Chain A
């Protein structure tokens, strides 16, 4: 079974500062993928970034980077130079990489509020 833990229910960050959203995971799979999604107040789920368990380098996508520490089973999302539009719920998720094990397992989310 897979489990995602997000321990920060809410965070307040000053605009233009960097922010780190925590995510730890647990799985018995040897290969897996880790994802971060953003859910604004409008409700849609927006894919942000992906990290494969076999990737040696941390993933980056524009202002988003994923701090992947496999031994600690953590996959923290770092947003640099935060903007007001970053205010949203953020979900960490993981999935297996074998047929029948492709579902996403989500954490409980972190509500990020950017303060002007």
Chain B
């Protein structure tokens, strides 16, 4: 158990809908990262938050947004869903910056868009 929790574990929805994925980082970790794992794109970085502020952005679609709350949990919002958004979405957390800063991954949320 990495200490990172993600809910829900599975999500099945229809095209055009909106969903929210939730992540609670390890206790004390300030950084939260979101990654998408799909068959055609592999594992891709979406976005990073550090202590409530956006720190880095990757290949995140405009239909997707995220935020990190004062209690450090984070939510990833996916809207106007398309079939191609079906993927495993991981949240990871780390303590902060530094030469050695392992990212601990949550169990993932498997999103299926029908």
Contacts and interface: CB of A to CB of B under 8 A. Distances in A.
B99 A100 contact: no
A109 B94 contact: no
Interface of A: 31, 33, 35, 37, 43-47, 50, 52, 54, 91, 93, 95, 97-106, 108-109
Contacts, number: 67
A97 B108 CA distance: 25
Nearest to A33: B100
B interface: dominant SS: strand
A14 to B, nearest CB: 28
Interface of B: 2, 31, 33, 35, 42-45, 48, 55-56, 58, 88, 90, 92, 94, 97-105, 107-108, 110
Given A44-B105, A44-B107, A54 B99 contact: yes
From A35, A43, A50, A91, name the one whose CB has the most chain B CB atoms within 10 angstroms: A43
Contact of A103 (B58, B90, B104): B58
A interface: dominant SS: loop
A102 B101 contact: yes
Contact of A47 (B31, B55, B102): B102
Given A44-B105, A109-B42, A102 B94 contact: yes
Nearest to A93: B43
Contacts of B45: 103-105
Given A43-B108, A52-B100, A105-B45, 11 more contacts: A43-B107, A43-B110, A44-B105, A44-B107, A45-B108, A95-B103, A98-B97, A104-B33, A104-B45, A106-B42, A106-B44
A101 B98 CA distance: 11
Given A99-B55, A103-B33, A45 B48 contact: no
B105 to A, nearest CB: 4
